[in-house]
Structure 1
Amino acid sequence: MKKIIVLLAFCLIACINAQSQKTEPVKWNTQINNTEKENFKEIVFSAHILGEWHLFGTQLPEGGPHSTAFVFDKIEGAVLLGNIQEIDRPIEEYNSLFEMNLKWYNHSARFIQGIEIIPESEKVLIEGHIEYQACNNVTCLPPTRHNFVLEETINKIIPNAEPSISSTISTQHGHSNKAYLNTWKPVKQQMEAFGENLAGTEISYRKAYVNGFKGGLLSLLTPCLWPMILMSIYSFQQQRSSRKQSIFRTLLYSVTLLIVFPLCGILLTSAFGIQIFYQFTTNLISNLFLFILFVILAAFLLGAFHSSIISKKKAVGNFIGLSILTVLLSLSCTGSYIGSYLTQAASLHSILGPYLTLTGFVSAFVLPVAIILVFITWNPATPKQAHRLLLLNRITGFFILAYSLTFLSIADLIYGKHLLNREIFLVLWIIIFSFLGIYLIGKLKFTHDKETPSISVGRFFLAILTFSFTLYMVPGLLGAPLKEIGALVPPLYAQDFNLYTKDFGNHFDNYNEGMEYAKNSEKPVLLEFSGYGCAESRKMEASVWTYPRIKHLLDQEFVVIRLMVDDKTKLPKAEIISIDGKPTKITTFGEKWQALQQIKFGSESQPYQVILTPKGNPLSSAYGYSIDIKQYINFLNNGLNRFKQQLK
């Protein structure tokens, strides 16, 4: 089992490293400048290099790091003149790591490519990419690719334009629609003018810690971290010593987690961005990896790979190795519980805010685990205690097997394959928990289980709870919302067969279509930015939106537009969207909705809700995660009243 855990840890590290493709230690800006000569222009590539990172030059010797290269994939209306030129002089020194002389840039670098405009051309369109590699004193990123698109008409350079009605978005053919662009105009300052204290909009250093602690408690209610709790118990039971030494090891293990977890989180967010946790939970490979990992853990806890869960063999590892493994697993599978809190905390301070949130998160895990470890090491091991731990392993194995399906479901929802819809998911859960109930009453045994002629009162009550939970899920096959587990099971719109009341025709998953419908029906818009991998969004939709009074308001008074920022569905045609004057090519609907949230509202967190007029003007401040029914009703009524007042 030790070899399996080590292998899985390395695989997890590899998956996290794969996300390095999304980090940007080098920020690129590309623009076209005029020259003194008519029909001759210059493309200027400016690189802003963060912190201790450095960017390598354009001509490096073979066998070294990757040289910075500029590739032009498509050129219309112009021709290139000569080769790329370096404006700034690079640093040239001997590098002991690569054992050769290398050239690199610190802080900033500029490059120029001359072009000649073809006579009578109506526009210039240049698409390409920059291949570069960045390193610091500790590590090097793999070769990274940055795409750029430059488009210029007569006396008008699109990439340098500020986000506006005419330049915020254009298709790859340069066409735009003014009415469509009006609904994209930034409204952040207008929203702040409302001055409302809505859920999730105010943040302080104290709240940053409390939010992290709440996220940690929420993660403990799911089987995500249960394997590490059991492995901690197992490891400490195999290293029995005096009570004083046991308490010391428990404290050292807890302190190690309190130090290592926030440190790893800060390093990840600094290198890959604050959205790394959310990106990991919405990545196909990472979700499939976690699904396989949890199936293997479930099989181990149910008796596979080992002759006995409780044995006298050496423990899985010492407490430091165990704590680091705990950090790796928890960082990888708790993004949906902590990602939005980290985004809020980063608005306070880029490092201190997330650090407090991460510390609060791991504190919620350390506190109950430390109490359990002190308790199990305080009393001597007995056969009865070993049997209880074996029973706990088996029960946890069932829960982890059920929880593994959530990762498979997220991957299926993000990529829209519809292979694991809500009915199939619930059928599998009903079967798994039915077998758990049968196991608890002693009618099911695994290979290494000992004979138990009778069951205890505790097992009897656990069996009642298990069968009750199983029956609770049965109406979900017909479309019941199942509010208590809404954050774990697929959403209602992923169900094909539904006998319950369905939504009216005012729910949209496309911004343009929803705004057009709102204009024709003269209704306000409830716009929600959500995600298939966002547990908070699922919980709100299952617990709040299904409340009768709220559901009536949404169906009768509002046009609901729900946009998934992790939707991997391809756009019919690639689009060029300008964000902060930087043209960005997007290919999926998720990228488009994420760009809309950034441009219009200046936000990247989910869930994020706001009420708009059909013209895209705000009627409320932003609403974050909250399952307070009264507060949400007030949020809807205030927006609706403002809309009605504007109509008078």
Structure 2
Amino acid sequence: MRLLVLFLGLFVFNLSVAQTDADPAVWSHEVNKISDTEYELVFKGKIMDGWHVYSQYTAEGGSLPSEFTFEKAGEDYELVGKTTESETIVEYSDIFEVDETFFKKEAIFTQKIKLLNPEVRQISVNLFYQICKEVCIPKDYLFEISLDGSGFVAENKSLDERSVALGESLKVDLKNKELLNQGGISSQEGTANLWMIIGLGFLGGLIALLTPCVFPMIPLTVSFFTKRTQNKSKGIRDALLYGFFIVLIYFLLSLPFHLFNSVDSQILNTIATNVWLNVFFFVIFVFFAFSFFGYYELTLPSSWVNKMDAASSKVGGGLGIFFMALTLAIVSFSCTGPILGGLLGSTTLAEGNVATNLTAGMVGFGLALALPFALFAMFPAWLNSLPKSGGWMTTVKVVLGFLELALAFKFLSNADLVGNWGFLKREIFLGIWIVLFILTTLYLFGVFKFPHDGPKKKHSGARKVTGLVSLVFSVYLILGLFNVTSLKLLSGFPPPSFYSVVETESDCPLGLDCYKDFEEGVAYAQEVNKPILLDFTGWACVNCRKMEENVWSDPNVYALLKEEYVLISLYVDDRKELPQDEKFEFKYDSGRIKSIETVGQKWGTFQTINFNAASQPYYVILSPNMEVLNDAVQYVDVETYEAWLKSGLGKHQLSMNK
């Protein structure tokens, strides 16, 4: 039961983790001189709402306590007494069944030291702690403390005057900044988006069930559980545990991506929009596609499979069931690998935290696999109702191969957009997709076949219906290519309409006038005295394109954007290098130093330090004198966005009349 509670806690945490550059706790220190040889060190942590940090003296058997390591203590100086703490909170933990002691909002630790070496002017102190919100994250923080008041620089690196000046120029003196998070609209679509990703993961899992690597595992699973026990109630418990372990394994595969977020809020966006990584994804997906076409098989080393299978047979209890679930994951890799690759790729294109999206998708995928396996393990008689393996599985794999190719070109398009290469324009991209889906249609209707297809025979009704759907979709793409339809169903996947082989008057969405430099846009807004719509966007941002093509295109919204606002669009994934004299290093309040070398790094950092956000799309309404006029919004519907724009415009006009 504890395992289940912990798993659910982890999942809830991943749905709620905040996207900020700062850690949930920001640390600082003070030095109070008592005498020539005695000092008082004060360590302060500001803790974000909803989070807590554990005391040094929290009960054993619960979460890990905070722990200070004073380097060279006993050599250069000695500790005088214990490290004392500010006021703490004590609450009973249902998970660990102990009273836990922790801090909320602020943690203050105080330690007196006495110098043994009078020449010592600087000491290092490491703090290990756990920052918690439903689940705990272990952290380390290094304090470099100067005893003579000269201070310290994180990472032992000083910034030159030019970097300091350019860094300060990124900070905007915003008025009414508290308005940004009051409306709560920005999170309105986040949960819905996560549920959609879980649904897509679930759909991917269902598709994986139909593949030749996974489907035959169902009878083997039933055989395994039938041999394990003749007790019905125990059999049901084992089957449920088996399903849980399948979900857990796929959940665990997503956890490493959360480590990236703890380093830098922009790092996953940087990875997802990296030109060469997108090219790598393109190559990998083409490789996956041809494996689905039957030209070769993807398999993990057979020794892995044998070891896992042997472990599941030899080890009893829950551990044996876990190894059986792991065997399923390994054996089915040749078919699930490409689907999981697609899931990984598509979650990098979705709104919000990439790691959280991936976790949601992996959990959905695991649930889809776990449900039938657990049910058939509980009720073996249901096996008789299953269709027999056959050629229909090959058809599923080939269709998946064409879908993998289509997604591969999306990644190549990302690289082209972010890298400003200009060769995969909107019309060319759509032309490639049209060819792919026409080929899918021809295959489904039996015009040609692949190496692993069996003898030609009469096609099933399901195959013909799928072929008809593919044909309709091909016609839809052709109509979109010639601008007969808007392709709103695909918003975000093809390159934007202004990225065209045909010369356009504007390189801004929908032909609007926009500025791609903040200072230039503000100067123009001050000149014409219009409010600013600050648009944090990205070349590879799917939901940014959806907003532009589905919401901004609405006549009322479009009129407001064109006539009433100064639009400033800042692309946080633009890999264009800054001029040499504009490159610099930026130091965060936490002490971390980041190199700013590209346009996207500059605007991504600008968004983080001024608006405490790192996701796109992200919209803010400002007056020309930098007053926040409304709460920030992200992915919303037409009605909400129009009302939000009108509200900001009304507040601007009201302030003008004062």
Assess, with a 3 A threshold, how the Cα gap between structure 1 residues 363 and 440 changes in structure 2: closer, same or farther.
same
**Per-residue deviation, residues 138-162 of structure 1 (Å, max 9, x unmatched):** xxxxxxxx8641439xxxxx96xxx
Whole-angstrom distance in 2 between the partners of 1:148 and 1:256:
49
Whole-angstrom distance in 1 between the partners of 2:247 and 2:480:
40
Assess, with a 3 A threshold, how the Cα gap between structure 1 residues 299 and 610 changes in structure 2: closer, same or farther.
same
Assess, with a 3 A threshold, how the Cα gap between structure 1 residues 107 and 191 changes in structure 2: closer, same or farther.
closer
The 3-state SS of whatever aligns with 1:490 is coil
Assess, with a 3 A threshold, how the Cα gap between structure 1 residues 199 and 331 changes in structure 2: closer, same or farther.
same
Are residues 1:366 and 2:366 paired? Answer: yes
Whole-angstrom distance in 2 between the partners of 1:561 and 1:478:
30
Whole-angstrom distance in 2 between the partners of 1:307 and 1:218:
23
Whole-angstrom distance in 1 between the partners of 2:535 and 2:632:
10
Whole-angstrom distance in 1 between the partners of 2:242 and 2:259:
25
Kindly report which structure 2 residues correspond to 1:474-489, keeping only aligned pairs within 5 A, or say none: 474-478=478-482, 481-489=486-494
Q: Match of 1:641?
A: 650
Q: Match of 1:340?
A: 352
Q: Match of 2:501?
A: 496
The 3-state SS of whatever aligns with 2:619 is strand
Q: Match of 2:185?
A: 198
Shift of 1:635: 1.2
Partner of residue 259 from structure 1, selected from 234, 248, 271: 248
Kindly report which structure 2 residues correspond to 1:255-294, keeping only aligned pairs within 5 A, or say none: 255-270=244-259, 272-273=261-262, 275=265, 277-294=268-285
State TM-score, norm by structure 2.
0.63
Assess, with a 3 A threshold, how the Cα gap between structure 1 residues 240 and 192 changes in structure 2: closer, same or farther.
closer
Q: Match of 2:173?
A: 185
Are residues 1:467 and 2:466 paired? Answer: no
State TM-score, norm by structure 1.
0.64
Are residues 1:521 and 2:509 paired? Answer: no
The 3-state SS of whatever aligns with 2:123 is coil
Assess, with a 3 A threshold, how the Cα gap between structure 1 residues 370 and 554 changes in structure 2: closer, same or farther.
same
CA contact (8 A) 1:282 1:533 kept: yes
Letter paired with 1:416: N
Assess, with a 3 A threshold, how the Cα gap between structure 1 residues 252 and 546 changes in structure 2: closer, same or farther.
farther
The 3-state SS of whatever aligns with 1:239 is helix
Kindly report which structure 2 residues correspond to 1:95-494, keeping only aligned pairs within 5 A, or say none: 107-110=141-144, 148-151=158-161, 169=167, 184-187=172-175, 189-192=177-180, 195-200=182-187, 212-218=194-200, 230=211, 233-234=214-215, 236=217, 239=220, 241-242=222-223, 245=226, 251=240, 254-270=243-259, 272-273=261-262, 275=265, 277-306=268-297, 319-320=325-326, 323=329, 329=341, 332-336=344-348, 340-341=352-353, 361-371=361-371, 378-379=382-383, 385-478=389-482, 481-494=486-499
Assess, with a 3 A threshold, how the Cα gap between structure 1 residues 498 and 323 changes in structure 2: closer, same or farther.
farther
Are residues 1:88 and 2:120 paired? Answer: no
Assess, with a 3 A threshold, how the Cα gap between structure 1 residues 620 and 389 changes in structure 2: closer, same or farther.
same
**Which ranges in structure 1 are unaligned for 5 or more consecutive residues?**
1-21, 31-45, 59-83, 92-105, 117-127, 131-145, 153-157, 160-166, 171-175, 309-313, 344-353
Shift of 1:615: 2.8
Shift of 1:186: 3.5
CA contact (8 A) 2:531 2:621 kept: yes
Give % identity.
26
Kindly report which structure 2 residues correspond to 1:450-599, keeping only aligned pairs within 5 A, or say none: 450-478=454-482, 481-497=486-502, 503-572=510-579, 573-575=582-584, 577=586, 579-580=588-589, 584-599=594-609
Point out the more displaced range, 407-416 or 475-484. 475-484
Whole-angstrom distance in 2 between the partners of 1:225 and 1:295:
22
Assess, with a 3 A threshold, how the Cα gap between structure 1 residues 425 and 610 changes in structure 2: closer, same or farther.
same
CA contact (8 A) 2:604 2:614 kept: yes
Whole-angstrom distance in 1 between the partners of 2:359 and 2:418:
30
Shift of 1:446: 1.0
Shift of 1:339: 6.4
**Per-residue deviation, residues 386-432 of structure 1 (Å, max 9, x unmatched):** 12111111111111111111122222222222232222211111100
Shift of 1:445: 0.9
Whole-angstrom distance in 2 between the partners of 1:252 and 1:285:
41
Shift of 1:113: 13
Whole-angstrom distance in 2 between the partners of 1:322 and 1:148:
53
Shift of 1:259: 2.5
Assess, with a 3 A threshold, how the Cα gap between structure 1 residues 464 and 596 changes in structure 2: closer, same or farther.
same
Root mean square deviation of aligned Cα: 4.9
Q: Match of 1:173?
A: none
CA contact (8 A) 1:575 1:586 kept: yes
CA contact (8 A) 2:250 2:366 kept: no
Whole-angstrom distance in 2 between the partners of 1:413 and 1:224:
31
Assess, with a 3 A threshold, how the Cα gap between structure 1 residues 187 and 496 changes in structure 2: closer, same or farther.
farther
Letter paired with 1:424: I
Whole-angstrom distance in 1 between the partners of 2:284 and 2:369:
22
CA contact (8 A) 1:481 1:546 kept: no
Shift of 1:297: 1.5
**Per-residue deviation, residues 62-89 of structure 1 (Å, max 9, x unmatched):** xxxxxxxxxxxxxxxxxxxxxx998226
Assess, with a 3 A threshold, how the Cα gap between structure 1 residues 558 and 323 changes in structure 2: closer, same or farther.
farther
**Which ranges in structure 2 are unaligned for 5 or more consecutive residues?**
1-20, 30-42, 46-52, 54-63, 73-118, 127-139, 228-234, 300-304, 310-323
Whole-angstrom distance in 1 between the partners of 2:498 and 2:157:
35
Q: Match of 1:624?
A: 634
The 3-state SS of whatever aligns with 1:592 is helix
Whole-angstrom distance in 1 between the partners of 2:626 and 2:359:
39
Kindly report which structure 2 residues correspond to 1:23-34, keeping only aligned pairs within 5 A, or say none: none
Shift of 1:216: 1.8
Shift of 1:256: 2.4
CA contact (8 A) 1:87 1:112 kept: yes
Whole-angstrom distance in 2 between the partners of 1:474 and 1:463:
17
**Per-residue deviation, residues 176-225 of structure 1 (Å, max 9, x unmatched):** 6xxxx7x82245634248x434242698xxx5xx653332224567x799
Assess, with a 3 A threshold, how the Cα gap between structure 1 residues 505 and 448 changes in structure 2: closer, same or farther.
closer
Whole-angstrom distance in 1 between the partners of 2:401 and 2:327:
22
Shift of 1:507: 2.1
Assess, with a 3 A threshold, how the Cα gap between structure 1 residues 408 and 201 changes in structure 2: closer, same or farther.
same
Letter paired with 1:110: E
Whole-angstrom distance in 2 between the partners of 1:23 and 1:523:
33
The 3-state SS of whatever aligns with 2:392 is helix
Assess, with a 3 A threshold, how the Cα gap between structure 1 residues 512 and 212 changes in structure 2: closer, same or farther.
same
CA contact (8 A) 1:525 1:558 kept: yes
CA contact (8 A) 1:212 1:338 kept: no
Letter paired with 1:196: G
CA contact (8 A) 2:246 2:369 kept: no
Shift of 1:443: 0.6
Aligned residues: 501
Letter paired with 1:236: M
Whole-angstrom distance in 1 between the partners of 2:598 and 2:400:
38
Letter paired with 2:399: I
Whole-angstrom distance in 2 between the partners of 1:57 and 1:588:
38
Letter paired with 2:272: T
Assess, with a 3 A threshold, how the Cα gap between structure 1 residues 451 and 298 changes in structure 2: closer, same or farther.
same
CA contact (8 A) 1:563 1:593 kept: yes
The 3-state SS of whatever aligns with 2:352 is helix
